[in-house]
Structure 1
Amino acid sequence: MGWRTVVVTKHAKISYKLEHVIVQTDNDIVQVPIADVQILMIATTQAVITTHLMMELSRNDIKVIFTDNKEMPVGEFTSYYSNLSRNRNISKQIIWDSDRKSLLWQNIIKMKITNEAKMLEKFQRTKYDGSPGHQDLLDLLDEVKPGDSTNREAVAARMYFQRLYDTKFNRRKDEFVANGHLNFGYSVLLSLITQEICCAGYLTELGIHHDSMENFYNLSSDLIEPFRVFVDEIAFNKYENPSFDLADKLELVNLLNQTVTTNSGDALLSGVIKTFVRKCLKYLSNETDVLPEIEIKI
């Protein structure tokens, strides 16, 4: 499995030759070994891609993301049935134990809230009275029940976003430029997680908490939660910037190649996410009794 994210942003022909992805623009030709590629993002409507390359991308389980004329992700291409155990894994997934799903979701939310608290502490964000803004989130950890039945996730999120940005910030309003950063960055993370779930031979539609009939990525939406803070940090650093341009989007895409420190050592964020996803799938499928947990330095 590759590690590079290749982003095409201008008029180009994208093809395949001798185990390389070839990107030919008006002024240059770039060749990337297909074995190095993890994700190919077509961030322009002025590119053409050959069917030969699409076939090779499919064979190599490489995700292709397409954007609209505003360079926002609108769709993706994923190979069919790359895992020979797919039928067996889906049969397991359909009958995943409800207790295991509840315990894993509890753990995921605890990790998410912990990372949100670390973000507030890192940037010394405070409450309206000037006291540290992160302690209230840490106090919520003991209240998170299996399945997060008391919805501590929502309580923490409300405090977190208003303290990280400001009390006027609204996650649902497009007028806040930070939401553009967040939506784009989350889409990049979600795409990687979706790719890993599909490669492991499971369905993204069947989640452990998210269960919307209109969401093709319920399971991906579950497993993304502990990692959202990495996008949040970039959005925070750009909060006073009124624009959201191509350079900002490339920074968010490159987030996957960022080195992070965990309790297991240093690794690329993409590798940390993949390992976490695999551990979650093994736990849910009764292949291990160890609850997946990861401590990340923020």
Structure 2
Amino acid sequence: MGWRIIHITNVDQLSLQLDNLKVKKSDDELKIPLRDIFAIIIEDLTCKLTSRLMIELSKNNILVLLCNQKYLPECVIQPVTGHALQFRQMMKQLNWTHDLKGILWKEIIQRKIINQAEVMRRNYIEKNRIAKLNELATKVENQDTSNVEGQAARIYFNSFFDENYTRSNQNYIENAALNYGYAIAHSAIARTIVAKGLISGLGIYHRGERNPHNLASDIIEPFRPIIDYFVVKHPPDGYLTKDYRIQLINLLHSKIVINNKMQTFIRAIEISIDSFLEFFETGKSEKIQLPSLEKLVLHES
């Protein structure tokens, strides 16, 4: 699997040369082997892309994000053909039981809250607030019927921002940063879901009728605190500069703990999804592997 994340801005053309991405700006050219690329994020609205390149990117299952004027991903390019055993994977997914989905959702939300508590600890938030979050994590039920996730979120975000803060308030530049980071992570997860032959629109908990990636919206939850930690620790200064957006993109190279090993964010996504497939095959919750912020190493560009 590729590992490079290519950020495109102020470029004339992207094309294919042999098995390489060719980046052209005026008389300058740069070539990058396709086998090394995990994702290409294109923020340049005037950049030209050749059809031949797009076909090869699709064949190599490389995530391609086209961003809008606000730099948020607007379009995700995905292959028509997917996993070699896609039909079999899809049929298995359609047979995932309600009870097993409920167990997995409980595990996901518990880990999300525990990771949120770790972000609070790393930012020296009052110990009683951290203790409250850890207590809430123990109270999550199957399906999270009591919405413990929402209770934890109120304590969590109010620990970093003032009492008027809400995630939907566009007056907070931190929300723009969080939205950008979440969108990049969400797209990376959706890409891996498709590569595994799963139906991205068929979620465990999320059921948005207009959301083509409900399953990615489920899986991102315990990963969100990685973006939160960076934004709280390094808040944007007035607006999202190019350098700041690149730092958010590079969070995919951060290292976290999963299955008792340090792995990159990108690799942890794949490990989590593979573990979910094992869980639905066996019904054994110990198969579930989720990211932990017990140790976190941010990528330094």
Shorter-chain TM range is: over 0.9
**8 Å CA contact 1:81, 1:201 repeated in 2:** no
1:143 aligns with 2:126: no
Within 5 Å, give how 1:208-287 maps onto structure 2.
208-239=204-235, 241-284=237-280, 286-287=281-282
Of stretches 235-244 and 142-151 in structure 1, the one that deviates more from structure 2 is 235-244
Give the superposition deviation at 1:238.
3.4
Query: 1:2 — aligned with what?
Result: 2
Post-superposition offset of 1:132: 3.8
Q: Are 1:119 and 2:119 matched, yes or no?
A: yes
When the two chains are superposed, the root-mean-square deviation of aligned CA atoms in Å is 1.5
Q: Which amino acid aligns with 1:251?
A: Q
Counterpart amino acid of residue 122 in structure 1: R
Q: How many residues matched?
A: 293
Pair 1:24 & 2:24 matched: yes
| 5+ residue gaps, structure 1 | none
Q: Is the 8 A contact 1:124 1:132 kept in 2?
A: no
Q: Is the 8 A contact 1:165 1:236 kept in 2?
A: no
Structure-1 separation of matches of 2:36 and 2:191: 15
Following superposition, the deviation at residue 212 of structure 1 comes to 1.4
Amino acid at match of 2:293: I
**CA distance in 2 between partners of 1:4 and 1:277 (Å):** 21
SS in 2 for 1:133: helix
Deviations 1:198-238 (A, max 9, x none): 01111111111011111111110000001001111121123
Distance in 1 (alpha carbons) for counterparts of 2:26 and 2:85: 44
Distance 2:140 2:257 in 1: 25
Which digits, 9 at most, give the CA deviation of each residue in 1:166-208, with x for residues without a partner?
3232101111000111111001111111011101111111111
Cα distance in 2 between the residues matched to 1:95 and 1:270: 27
Which residue number corresponds to residue 186 of structure 2?
Answer: 190
Instruction: Tell whether 2:149 aligns with 1:153.
Output: yes
Q: Could you tell me how far apart the structure 2 residues matched to 1:192 and 1:135 are?
A: 32
Structure 1: distance between partners of 2:16 and 2:133: 50
Q: Using the alignment, how far apart are the partners of 1:123 and 1:93 within structure 2? A: 39
Compare 273-282 and 204-213 and name the one that shifted more: 273-282
Contact in 2 for aligned 1:23/1:29 (Cα 8 Å): yes
In structure 2, the residue matched to 1:176 is 172
What's the CA shift for 1:158?
A: 0.9
Contact 2:226 2:293 in 1 (8 A): no
Which of 135, 147, 158 aligns to 1:162? It is 158
Q: Describe the SS at the equivalent of 1:215.
A: coil
Structure 1 range deviating more: 109-118 or 228-237:
228-237
How far apart in 1 are the matches of 2:263 and 2:275?
16
Q: How far does residue 287 in structure 1 lie from its aligned partner after superposition?
A: 4.8
Report the secondary structure of 2:293's partner residue.
coil
> 1-side partners of 2:231 and 2:47: how far apart?
28
2:11 touches 2:23 (CA, 8 Å); kept in 1? Answer: no
Q: CA deviation at 1:245?
A: 1.5
Paired residue secondary structure (1:144): coil
Q: How does 1:32-71 map to 2 (within 5 A)?
A: 32-71=32-71
SS at match of 2:167: coil
Kept in 2, the 8 Å contact 1:121–1:133? The answer is no
CA distance in 1, matches of 2:53, 2:233: 37
Q: CA deviation at 1:262?
A: 4.0
Cα deviations by residue, 1:82-110 (Å, 9 ceiling, x for unpaired): 21211111112112111110000000000
- Distance in 2 (alpha carbons) for counterparts of 1:240 and 1:55: 37
**Contact 1:121–1:132 (Cα < 8 Å) also in 2:** no
Structure 2 match to 1:296: 293
Contact 1:178 1:238 in 2 (8 A): no
User: How many Å separate the matches in 1 of 2:277 and 2:193?
Assistant: 8
Match of 2:82 in 1: 82
